[in-house]
């Protein structure tokens, strides 16, 4: 009997093949006293060396098959293997406590893993995953245990695993591995990100694939709808083969749009840009036909380290993005730290309500040295491309004026030092706080552009924490309340001859797109892989037709009503 298991759609596509269970044997670590700590440290060093050789080979393979940015994960793993904070702590433990290397490594790495995992932050959680991966590799050498690796697969399969480590994913041979499903993980976990860049259909976070699927059984991975079908009937297989073909045709259609501008059926032009977190993401933007970067979240430059990035470091990151994007616009947002994005080394006091606290522009206006360093780096980089600077979390006009005044002061200073700075940098703001949306007409007289941050605008408007599962039903992008605010912002911008974009997740949402188009949004910034499907959708929409229904939509009473109407009408 076939069975359906639901999970999170991590990488689009359909795959049909036999299951290959990738089991990681339990590492049996027993704490034992040792006699000779010098010899034990040498044994530990030997395991480290072997792990390094192995990792270097995986890194080279990832580099040639997946490209530089994916290989960077393994460069990071190699760094973990040489990180004195971790490695010296293990050696010290062996020496001072006379314990075996396995238990010392396990205890110290678990301590770091717990520390990073407890941080309410995706980036830090990924660092925990890196340490877990590296530690397992070293332990396997110490215990002389061999793991099943995806590299040993030589027939067409679908991998079923509790989770795939980044190194597992890098060893996947696309010729044989048609798809994978895991028990744990989310859309932003390493394995999910890599599956998308390798275009291997994947469903993650199913909670139960490893317990419900046996080796060799037929499996369908539906990475479009996040479903795994176990032991399907002939009819079901046929049905999914058709779905696979339809998707392949659709992708081929999308690919034709890579170098096209984005136009509606009735000839209205909008710009489709991408959100990025690091310079390495730019390639994906270009490959997916992005017309610009609508949001560069610079906070990632500040994370995963123990001190602030220098002006030089920032300058070279910003310059790299601007140069790679050529003449295309690049909106770089100044530091938006706080809320769920912590910087432990800033030593900020714990707050009752971090999302409503001392964060983003509030912090930057207070910690001016830090802010000015970033602004100088941005201004210096401005001559290398089409830079637009954006301030996050603006709640009052005074905040914007102060931030802009500091920016202009730094510009003056640089000019008087003889450093060239572009004269055409637009200065805009995120609209993600309701007070700013309501006052958009006033702001529009002074800013060069708006970018609506619906991730936060929705949570602040609905008073519903965006991280809290229990109130996630209130996270309603199509709520008429949100749509009315979005309309106020777009209308206010246009009245003053300015442009309005959106960089919250809503901009790439296929139900929201027709409404936003009708409201006149000028720029949609989304994850790079959403750009081509969005361009294709927009090409089939008529702005005029949607505009005729706008009054009706804005006067609907519920989100459900809006959603049903849009799905039916456009």
Ligand X SMILES: C=C(OP(=O)(O)O)C(=O)O
Residue placing its CB nearer to Mg ion in the complex, 452 or 541: 452
Dump the DSSP string for 390-421.
Answer: EESS--SHHHHHHHHHHHHHHHHHHHHTT---
Q: Which is nearer to Mg ion, 37 or 525 (CB)?
A: 525
Q: Residue 451 Cβ, how far from ligand X at the closest point, in Å?
A: 8
Residue placing its CB nearer to ligand X in the complex, 239 or 396 = 396
- CB neighbour list of residue 357: distance below 8 Å, 6 or more residues apart: 338, 339, 351
Residue 336 beta carbon to ligand X: minimum distance, rounded to whole angstroms: 6
Please give the full DSSP string across 257-301, using - where no structure is assigned: TTT--EE-TTS-EEEEEEEESSGGGHHHHHHTT-S-EEEEETHHH
Whether 190 is catalytic: yes
Q: Which residues bind Mg ion (CB under 5 A)?
A: 432, 453, 456
What is the phi-psi region of residue 339: left when phi exceeds 0, alpha when psi lies from -120 to 50, beta otherwise? left
Query: In sequence order, which ranges of 417-528 are alpha helices (DSSP H)?
Result: 434-438, 440-443, 454-462, 480-495, 512-519
Whichever of 79 and 467 has its CB closer to ligand X, that residue is: 467
SS3 188: coil
Nearest distance, CB of residue 328 and Mg ion, angstroms: 23
| Partner interacting with residue 121 (select from Mg ion, ligand X, none; CB below 5-8 Å by kind) | none
* Long-range contacts of residues 151-158, Cβ cutoff 8 Å, at least 24 apart: 153/20, 153/177, 155/18, 156/17, 156/18, 157/17, 157/18, 157/19, 157/20, 158/15, 158/17, 158/18, 158/19, 158/20, 158/219, 158/221
Q: Which does 102 bind (CB under 5 to 8 A by kind): Mg ion, ligand X, none?
A: none
Where is 46: in which H helix or E strand?
helix 37-66
**294 interacts with, out of Mg ion, ligand X, none, CB within 5 to 8 A per kind:** none
Distances in Å between the Cα of 392 and the Cα atoms of 137, 175, 310, 378 are: 41, 44, 21, 15
CB of 196 to ligand X, least distance (A): 19
Q: Which of 77, 141, 364, 503 is catalytic?
A: 503
CA dist 66 and 83 (Å) reads: 26
d(CA 414, CA 29): 58
459 binds, among Mg ion, ligand X, none (CB under 5 to 8 A by kind): none
* CB closer to ligand X out of 382 and 454: 454
Interaction partner, residue 169 (ligand X, Mg ion, none; CB < 5-8 Å by kind): none
Task: Tell me which of Mg ion, ligand X, none is bound by residue 504, counting a contact when its beta carbon lies within the kind-specific cut-off of 5 to 8 angstroms.
Answer: ligand X
189 versus 459: smaller Cβ distance to Mg ion: 459
Is the Cβ of residue 140 or residue 459 nearer to ligand X in the bound state?
459
- What sign results for the dihedral spanned by CA atoms 179, 182, 188, 191? negative
262-263/269-276 β-pairing:
antiparallel
Name the binder of 48 from Mg ion, ligand X, none, CB < 5-8 A by kind. Answer: none
Q: How far is the CB of 358 from Mg ion (least distance, A)?
A: 15
CA 290/CA 257 separation, integer angstroms: 11
* 503 touches, from ligand X, Mg ion, none (C-beta below 5 to 8 Å by class): ligand X
The strand pairing partners of 262, in sequence order, are 270
CA nearest to 130, candidates 146, 116, 150, 147:
116
Report the side by side order of strands in the sheet with 157-161. Answer: 3-6, 227-230, 218-222, 14-21, 157-161, 177-182, 202-204, 8-11
Instruction: State yes or no: is 503 an active-site residue.
Output: yes
User: What is the chain's percent helix, strand, coil content, to nearest 5?
Assistant: 55, 15, 30
CB of 392 to ligand X, least distance (A): 7
Q: How far is the CB of 293 from ligand X (least distance, A)?
A: 13
> At 14, is the secondary structure helix, strand, or coil?
strand
CA distances from 216 to 14, 17, 107, 222 (A): 18, 9, 37, 18
Sign of CA dihedral 463, 469, 470, 474: positive
CB 38 within 8 A of CB 131: no
Minimum CB–partner distance for residue 305 and ligand X (Å)? 19
Instruction: Output the smallest distance, CB 194 to ligand X, in A.
Output: 22
Q: Which is nearer to ligand X, 213 or 500 (CB)?
A: 500
- Nearest approach, Cβ of 476 to ligand X (angstroms)? 14
Query: Length of the chain, please?
Result: 570
Residue nearest to Mg ion (CB): 456
Is the Cβ of residue 171 or residue 476 nearer to ligand X in the bound state? 476
Contact footprint for ligand X (CB under 6 A): 295, 297, 336, 432, 453-456, 503-504
Residue located via tokens 């605008």? 457
Contact 224, 14 (CB under 8 A): yes
CB of 292 or CB of 504, closer to ligand X: 504
Out of 77, 141, 190, 364, which one is annotated catalytic? Answer: 190
- Angle in degrees, CA 493, 258, 179, rounded to 5: 115
Q: Which does 514 bind (CB under 5 to 8 A by kind): ligand X, Mg ion, none?
A: none
Catalytic positions: 190, 503
């Amino acid at each position: 009997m076939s069975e359906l298991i639901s999970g999170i759609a991590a990488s689009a596509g359909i795959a049909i093949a036999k299951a290959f269970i990738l089991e990681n044997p339990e590492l049996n670590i027993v704490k034992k006293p040792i006699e000779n700590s010098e010899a034990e440290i040498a044994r530990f060093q030997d395991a480290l060396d072997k792990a390094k050789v192995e990792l270097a080979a995986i890194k080279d393979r990832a580099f040639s098959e997946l490209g530089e940015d994916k290989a960077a994960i393994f460069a990071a793993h190699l760094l973990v293997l040489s990180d004195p904070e971790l490695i010296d702590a293990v050696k010290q433990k062996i020496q001072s406590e006379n314990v075996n290397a396995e238990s010392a490594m396990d205890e110290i790495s678990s301590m770091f893993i717990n520390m990073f995992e407890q941080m309410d932050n995706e980036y830090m959680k990924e660092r925990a995953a890196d340490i877990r991966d590296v530690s397992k590799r070293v332990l396997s050498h110490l215990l002389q245990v061999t793991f099943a690796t995806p590299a040993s697969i030589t027939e067409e399969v679908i991998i079923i695993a509790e989770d795939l480590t980044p190194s597992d994913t890098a060893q996947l041979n696309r010729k044989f591995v048609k798809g994978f499903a895991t028990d744990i993980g989310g859309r932003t976990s390493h394995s999910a990100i890599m599956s998308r860049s390798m275009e291997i259909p994947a469903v993650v976070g199913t909670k139960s694939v490893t317990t419900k699927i046996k080796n060799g059984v037929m499996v369908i991975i539906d990475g479009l709808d996040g479903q795994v079908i176990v032991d399907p009937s002939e009819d079901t297989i046929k049905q999914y083969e058709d779905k696979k073909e339809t998707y392949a045709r659709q992708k081929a259609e999308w690919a034709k749009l890579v170098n096209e501008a984005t136009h509606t059926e009735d000839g209205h032009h909008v710009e489709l840009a991408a959100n990025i977190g690091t310079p390495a993401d730019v390639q994906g933007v270009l490959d997916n036909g992005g017309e610009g970067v609508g949001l560069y979240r610079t906070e990632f430059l500040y994370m995963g380290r123990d001190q602030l990035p220098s002006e030089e470091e920032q300058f070279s990151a910003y310059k790299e993005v601007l140069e790679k994007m050529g003449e295309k616009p690049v909106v770089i947002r100044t530091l938006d730290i706080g809320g769920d994005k912590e910087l432990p080394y800033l030593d900020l006091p714990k707050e009752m309500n971090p999302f409503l606290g001392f964060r983003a522009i509030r912090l930057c206006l207070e910690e001016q040295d830090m802010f000015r360093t970033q602004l100088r780096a941005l201004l210096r980089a401005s001559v290398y491309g089409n830079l637009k600077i954006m301030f996050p979390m603006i709640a009052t006009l005074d905040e914007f004026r102060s931030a802009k005044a500091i920016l202009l002061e730094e510009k003056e200073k640089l000019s008087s030092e003889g450093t060239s700075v572009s004269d055409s940098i637009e200065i805009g703001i995120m609209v993600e706080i309701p007070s700013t949306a309501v006052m958009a007409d006033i702001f529009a007289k002074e800013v060069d552009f708006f970018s609506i941050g619906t991730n936060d605008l929705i949570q602040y408007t609905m008073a519903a924490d965006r991280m809290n599962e229990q109130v996630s039903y209130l996270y309603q992008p199509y709520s008429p309340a949100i749509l009315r605010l979005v309309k106020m912002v777009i209308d206010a911008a246009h009245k003053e001859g300015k442009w309005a974009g959106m960089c919250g997740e809503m901009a790439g949402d296929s139900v929201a797109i027709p409404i936003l188009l009708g409201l006149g949004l000028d720029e949609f910034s989304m994850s790079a892989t959403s750009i081509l499907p969005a361009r294709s959708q927009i090409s089939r929409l008529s702005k005029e037709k949607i505009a005729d229904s706008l009054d009706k939509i804005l006067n609907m009473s519920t989100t459900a009503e809006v959603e049903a109407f849009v799905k039916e009408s456009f």
